[in-house]
Amino acid sequence: MKIVFGDLRTEVLYLPLWRKLPLPRSRRCNRAVETLNHMIRLMIAERRTSNVQRNDLLGMLLAERDEHGSIMSDQQVHDEVLTMFLAGHETSALTLTWALFLLAKHPEIQERAAQEAFLITTGLGLLPEDYEKLVYIRAVVQETVRLYPPVWSLGRSTRRDTTIGGLTVRRGTHV
Q: Which is nearer to ligand HEM, 14 or 85 (CB)?
A: 85
Q: Which is nearer to ligand HEM, 42 or 96 (CB)?
A: 96
Residue/partner pairs of 98-102 with CB below 8 Å, 24 or more apart: 98/144, 98/145, 98/147, 98/148, 98/150, 99/140, 99/141, 99/144, 102/140, 102/143, 102/144, 102/147
Burial class (CB in 10 A: 0-12, 13-18, 19+), 154: exposed
Q: Which is nearer to ligand HEM, 84 or 119 (CB)?
A: 84
> Rounded to the nearest whole angstrom, what is the least distance from the CB of residue 114 to ligand HEM in the complex?
21
Instruction: Kindly report the length of the chain.
Output: 175
Residue nearest to ligand HEM (CB): 88
> Rounded to the nearest whole angstrom, what is the least distance from the CB of residue 27 to ligand HEM in the complex?
27
Residues that bind ligand HEM (CB under 6 A): 83-84, 87-88, 91-92, 95, 145, 150-151, 154
Find, among 97, 81, 79, the residue nearest to 144 by Cα: 97
> Rounded to the nearest whole angstrom, what is the least distance from the CB of residue 91 to ligand HEM in the complex?
3
Q: Which is nearer to ligand HEM, 87 or 119 (CB)?
A: 87
What element of type H or E holds 132?
A: none
> Rounded to the nearest whole angstrom, what is the least distance from the CB of residue 144 to ligand HEM in the complex?
9
